[in-house]
Structures are given as C-alpha cells and as structure tokens.
Amino acid sequence: MALKSTIFKAELAVSDMDRPYYGSHTLTIAQHPSENDARMMVRLLAFACEASETLAFTRGLDEPDEPDLWDRKLTGDIEHWVELGQPDESRLKRAAARSDRVTVYAYNGASAREWWKGMAGKAGKLRNVTIYNVPTDAVDALAGLAQRAMRLSVTIQDGEIWVSDDDRNVQLTLDVLQRAAS
C-alpha cells in the first residue's frame, strides 16, 4: 500500500518591501511521504519570497516534469518556474526554455555548495535563471516552525527575511549564487 501525503494548512501573510508585494494566502500543502519538514518549509519560504496572486504549488515530487511552484499565464504558459534542491543541467535548461524566468532554492548545506561548484559555469549561460542557497541553520530553524496548522508572517526588507509564528521568529538572508540578467 502506497503512503499518502500529509496535509498541512498555512495562513501566510507576506510583506515584501523589496518588490513591493503585500498579500495574504491560505495554503494547503501536501507533504510527499519522502519529503521532510525542512524541505516542505523551504517550499513555503520560496512561496513567500516569490508570492503573487497566481503562484501555485504543483504536484511537485509526484510529477517529475513540473517544478515545485509555478506562476502560469492565462494562456497556460509558464511565467515563473520555482525549483527546490539541486537540479541537474538538463532540468535547468528545460526549465529555462519552458518559462520566462526560473528561480532555484538550493538548501542542503555542503552538498549544495558542491553542486554549485559543478553547476556555476553551466547555469551562468542561462540568462533567465536566479539561484539562491538557503543557509543550513535557517533551514533547521524553519523546520522547527512546521505544524499541521500554521499561521506565519513573512517580512522581507533589504534582502533580510523574517518568518514568524505566534511564538518564534526565524531571521535569514539568502545567499545569491546567480541573478538572472535584467
């Protein structure tokens, strides 16, 4: 018998003064049986950092041809492809070709740094790709916020990110590995 996803609910208030974007989102997050709390919370962080009225979670790990999040146009074309982890070169090229812009959130500490050493030259050729690394201590702290029902506030200002619930606060800065060409 196959394991089923665990359902999490999140009320997410985003105040992104860098873009500027301000919005509230009621989210249902299906945590794949192979996904731990840390990865799920990085997915939620990515949602907050890229939030828009049309950004949505995809089938993610259940569908290898889809990103973790995407923003689609009314025509069905992919405007923004958001990927977690350490995609290989072919996946990154395919994402860059299928969408207007791509954002990757790497998050596995030392293995992410090793991945980037091998990927930097290849990714640099993809002009619509931005790559961030989420610091390991921040990933661990975010995993500590995971609950089946969450009410989170995310504030972003001058590159600093604060994620808080009623009791705890996580402050982080994403390491920018590559910025998309303007």
The stretch 4-10 carries a mean pLDDT of 93
The β-bridge partners of 55 are 71
Centre a 10 Å sphere on the Cβ of residue 133 and count the other Cβ atoms it contains.
20
The β-bridge partners of 14 are 23, 154
Amino acid at site 134? V
Residue 62 pLDDT more than 80? no
Amino acid at site 59? R
Secondary structure of residue 81 in the 3-state scheme: strand
Nearest-angstrom CA–CA distance, 61 and 150: 22
Whether the link from the prior residue into 33 is cis, omega within 30° of 0, is no
Give which of 44, 48, 45 is closest to 24, Cα–Cα. Answer: 48
Secondary structure of residue 174 in the 3-state scheme: coil
Superfamily grouping for domain 6-178: Restriction endonuclease-like alpha-beta roll domain (3.10.640.10)
What confidence score (pLDDT) does residue 22 get? 98
Residue 61 pLDDT more than 80? no
Contacts of 110 (CB under 8 A, 6+ apart): none
Reported as a single tens digit per residue, the pLDDT across 24-45 is 999 999 998 889 999 999 999 9
Residue 166 pLDDT more than 60? yes
Reported as a single tens digit per residue, the pLDDT across 71-112 is 999 998 999 999 999 999 999 999 999 999 999 999 988 899
pLDDT-derived band at 2 (thresholds 50, 70, 90) equals low
